[in-house]
Structure 1
């Protein structure tokens, strides 16, 4: 449980082995030994259609309805956003993203369970704010959210902003039992979005030396592992962020992913990162984690 495989081979567990490993992951989460890393796939756990886009491709499609992009970039969220920013101005892109993510996304069973745990750090890699809502609904008053912000709207060396769950901006470095880190921003409370290619130019230049990552994240990952759920790594941007956020963490590392749908690049990334794939439906995994499985 305390080592990261370094063989470079992808480890995938299924069936009874997957359930046993998931139980170990559940205990590790409950004892604050593993950091949950949440992705947009959690929005699809409900049988209903998610109220906001649940993939980068869906965001690209929503932006294309407002300003059609060239066909060669039409499915790429970051490139479509850059196209809009260059031709319509940043304010327009900001307004459209705010409109696209305006509908509240109800927290899932997993969000609600995590909100009650004594976790030191939670990573939420999407914009909809469901984890933030779950923490607020749980009555938590010991949480600080740190959001990545675009430097397009800032003067000075600013990478992130911090907020309490009431939406008040805090001084950087504010202490909290739980830090919710949303590296790409979030719709709430201030509609911060890293979305266009230009938003990431300086971030990706600096991220290898960890400058854009908050000190508290670097401190709290040292003796912990990571648990990825609702995440895919089929784009270099997503792989780069995950790699740098879990850098120098102790392990173990797990991901709930359908093993049959892995791309070659995803498989290579998971193997190189020492992430064990728990191959089971996300809904089944969430039910077991949150204690409602039979």
Structure 2
């Protein structure tokens, strides 16, 4: 049996049904009917050992090598970052995050393929610059990147900053064929990071009424569904952002995840959000979507 409806109304498809659905999603992406929502699991597609951390726990570990946090929060990226900000100052946290994510991440076959498509919107939920690099390598001149920024460094009602692929900051609201939306910030071009608990206090207060989400993202999601690749939802922060970015989009929504790895909270979230799970390793899915080559790692999301 290829399709499973769990008791929590979570739909999981696998085997031939999963491959068929990926084929339809590939067509939908090429026709700009689907929004790719990329997660840190994609970093393992180009290298079994990515040059930068590819999980929140790995970021927490990297920060702990610089300033050991109390054991009860040591594996929580957001809490460790908050500990450092309080003890060492925001500038220190910013500098350490820039060090941790300094190494360039080569685009995977999936990044490179997505960069060739006339997509209206790409959501990239991690701090690396692989998707930006793929768009630049494709010589795209019709792209703007919108990044979430911490309010700790800003005066006024600023939630995001906008850049072109050369790194030049643009006026808010600048339009382009493709918008690359990095809700948590990015190492490039300006080392913007939403990382500490304090960064999210005002964001989470306002996100239910959608204030921190750029208008262009709200507009371009309406008639499209989201396709999550390389993402996990095993933390409340990750679930909150995905839920709010999906808000008022028509769907349908899909996520490539190895179903055996799902936690109870992930299952509840996916079911409640009507996200169909394509039960397949991210590397296998990326190779099928990209249409050429194989992933360096066919493992977990």
TM over 0.5: yes
* Matched-pair contact (CA < 8 Å) for 1:8–1:274: no
Note the C-alpha offset of 1:283.
Answer: 1.1
Distance across 2 between alignment mates of 1:72 and 1:255:
31
Secondary structure at 1:140's aligned position in 2?
coil
Give the corresponding residue for 2:18: 18
* Structure 2: stretches of 5+ with no match in the other structure: 295-301
Report the alpha carbon displacement of residue 104 of structure 1 after superposing the two structures with TM: 0.2
Cross-structure match for 1:129: 129
Give TM-score, length-normalised by structure 2.
0.94
Shift of 1:284: 1.0
1:44 Cα shift?
A: 1.0
Structure 2 counterparts to residues 228-243 of structure 1, below 5 A: 228-243=228-243
Q: Extract structure 1 runs of 4+ deviating beyond 4 A.
A: none
Once the two structures are superposed, the pairs formed by residues 193-212 of structure 1 within 5 Å of their partners are: 193-212=193-212
Matched, 1:40 2:36: no
Partner Cα distance (2:102, 2:215) in 1: 30
Over aligned residues, Cα RMSD in angstroms?
A: 1.3
Superposition TM-score, scaled by structure 1 size:
0.97
Equivalent position SS for 1:156: coil
Superposed counterparts of 1:39-188, under 5 Å: 39-188=39-188
Aligned residues, how many? Answer: 289
What is the CA–CA distance in structure 2 between the aligned matches of 1:155 and 1:195, rounded to whole Å? 19
Query: Is the Cα–Cα contact under 8 Å of residues 39 and 231 in structure 2 kept in the other structure?
Result: yes
Could you say which residue in structure 2 is the equivalent of 1:257? 257
Aligned to 1:268: 268
Change (3 A) 1:101 1:132: same
Question: How far is 1:48 from its partner?
Answer: 3.6
* 8 Å CA contact retained: 1:257, 1:282: yes
Give the conservation status (yes or no) of the 8 Å contact 1:113–1:290. Answer: yes
Unaligned stretches of 5+ residues in structure 1: none
